[in-house]
Amino acid sequence: DEAVETGTGTSQYSGTVPLGTTRGGSGYSLTDGTRGNHKTYDLKQGTSGTGTLFTDADDRWGGGRQTAGVDAHYGAGQTWDFYKKVLGRNGIRNDGVGSYSRVHYGNNYVNAFWSDSCFCMTYGDGSGNAHPLTSLDVAGHEMTHGVTAATAKLNYSGESGGLNEATSDILATAVEFYSANSADPGDYLIGEKIDINGDGTPLRYQDKPSKDGASKDYWSSSLGGIDVHYSSGPANHFFYLLSEGSGAKVINGVSYNSPTYDGSRITGIGRDKAVRIWYRALTTYLTSTSKYAQARTATLNAARDLYGSTSTEYKTVAAAWTAINVR
């Protein structure tokens, strides 16, 4: 006899959050009955298998080992809801089937990842265990790798790898704004909560990717030979320019200043439209071998489909690609 429930979690990064849980014979588990039975497991520092499903006697979650589970489970639920409610996508493969999350992977593991072979995502505790890599944007990023694998299948190397990475960052930001969580408001930064650099700076900046010291702001022919987390820069920059425009801006208390390759000025069309255009390109036009030039065409086709070829949206897509040196 099982029942779908809503528990309460005290998270590390997102305040007090609702959690999709299931009540069984002897208590509750992190099994989200309204989101494809997505489950969250404790790997207890192991690096294989599924570990132990999180359970709790009173459906009030958090503290100790549970906290990372709370954040991961909440992030997966918010990402699921975003895809369903905003983009009409029912789960990672659009088949209503949930995946699962594993937390406390290994010792001092400073990463998180999606795996297509387990159809699951995994989170390390970070160095010193104070900052597990379980923030909302990281969850949105990793789960989106599953969506990309189920749609455009962008190869994870060269320029297509950069587009794959940027897709995860773009949708992660979309999830973060969608959730409207006051403890983790939306921004165009990736990993700003997990303090991965130890100095409070985020992992990546979408308004000006080179602020991380390694990512590229603009397309060049060298892009195909660098790490995909750096060749994602120009596409992240494209997304910021398309959404918010060039120049200086403050959003939810965060200051941005987005440059352009050619000194052109861009007026953004808003994040919601930019996300719809990127998602339609991903699911309709991009392929495993797409490079930046094909991404320009794919997003123009998507903008034409959604808004028409004489629309401001279409023209701004073209201008934003030109502004990152994709002509």
Query: Which residues are designated catalytic?
Result: 142, 229
Binds 189, which of Ca ion, Zn ion, ligand ASN, none (CB < 5 to 8 A, cut-off by type)?
Ca ion
Q: Which of 86, 91, 132, 89 is nearest to 109 (CA)?
A: 132
Binding mask 215-254 for Ca ion (x = CB under 5 A): ----------------------------------------
Residue 301 engages Zn ion in binding (rule: CB under 5 A): no
Q: Which is nearer to Zn ion, 160 or 168 (CB)?
A: 168
Give the footprint of Zn ion on residues 155-174 (CB under 5 A). 168
Q: Which is nearer to ligand ASN, 165 or 313 (CB)?
A: 165
Residue 244 engages ligand ASN in binding (rule: CB under 6 A): no
- The stretch among 140-148, 237-245, 252-260, 263-271 that binds ligand ASN (CB under 6 A) is 140-148
Half-sphere exposure of 82 (CA within 13 A, CB side): 30
Residue 111 engages ligand ASN in binding (rule: CB under 6 A): yes
- The stretch among 99-107, 137-145, 254-262, 305-313 that binds ligand ASN (CB under 6 A) is 137-145
Residue 189 engages Ca ion in binding (rule: CB under 5 A): yes
Q: Compute the distance between CA of residue 41 and CA of residue 141 in angstroms, rounded to an integer.
A: 19
Q: Where are the alpha helices (DSSP H) in the chain?
A: 66-87, 136-150, 158-179, 228-231, 233-244, 271-280, 292-307, 312-323
Binds 71, which of ligand ASN, Ca ion, Zn ion, none (CB < 5 to 8 A, cut-off by type)?
none
Q: Which is nearer to ligand ASN, 113 or 119 (CB)?
A: 113
Q: Compute the distance between CA of residue 101 and CA of residue 318 in angstroms, rounded to an integer.
A: 38
CA angle, 122 then 126 then 129, to 5°: 115
Long-range Cβ contact pairs of 151-155 (< 8 A, separation 24 or more)? 151/282, 151/283, 151/286, 152/282, 152/283, 152/286, 152/287, 152/288, 152/290, 153/287, 153/288, 154/286, 154/287, 154/288, 154/290, 155/288, 155/289
Q: Closest separation between CB of residue 97 and Ca ion, Å? A: 27
Q: Which is nearer to ligand ASN, 145 or 237 (CB)?
A: 145
Q: Closest separation between CB of residue 170 and Zn ion, Å? A: 11
Half-sphere exposure of 179 (CA within 13 A, CB side): 30
Q: Which is nearer to Ca ion, 31 or 168 (CB)?
A: 168
SS3 state at 116: coil
Residues in contact with Zn ion by CB under 5 A are 168
Residues in contact with ligand ASN by CB under 6 A are 111-113, 141-142, 145, 165
